[in-house]
């Protein structure tokens, strides 16, 4: 674990950049992480997925799988890959300030 600075605030993240304490996250930090990850602007569809991922994690203690994400978030799997290239569940979790989902490489 290391402390990094996002939007001028120190936060605890693991070696891959995932938050270790989701309570430190803000939407402005999510926007900064998205830009660092190659997504210049987060659209309403991005936020729909990010908020679903975050809410699920905060309520259950684990992030949804890509299959569940595609069915329950209201955004089809094909579109998830367009919104979050290179692994939607992993990238949405990182942007959303939650730990890396189990099963993600």
Please give the Cα distance from 9 to 88 (Å, whole number).
Answer: 26
Please give the Cα distance from 26 to 99 (Å, whole number).
Answer: 15
Q: Is 103 a catalytic residue?
A: no
Task: Identify the active-site residue in 27, 47, 51, 104.
Answer: 104
Contact 69, 80 (CB under 8 A): yes
> Is residue 101 packed enough to be buried (19+ CB in 10 Å), middle (13-18) or exposed (0-12)?
buried
CA torsion through residues 27, 31, 96, 8, sign: negative
Tell me the catalytic residues.
104
């Amino acid at each position: 674990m290391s402390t990094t600075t996002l939007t001028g605030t120190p936060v605890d993240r693991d070696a891959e950049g995932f938050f270790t304490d989701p309570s430190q996250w803000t939407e402005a930090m999510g926007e900064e992480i998205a830009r660092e990850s190659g997504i210049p602007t987060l659209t309403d569809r991005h936020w729909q997925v990010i908020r679903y991922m975050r809410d699920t994690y905060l309520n259950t203690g684990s992030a949804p799988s890509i299959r569940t994400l595609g069915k329950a978030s209201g955004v089809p799997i094909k579109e998830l890959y367009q919104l979050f290239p290179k692994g939607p569940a992993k990238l949405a979790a990182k942007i959303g300030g939650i730990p890396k989902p189990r099963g993600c490489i």
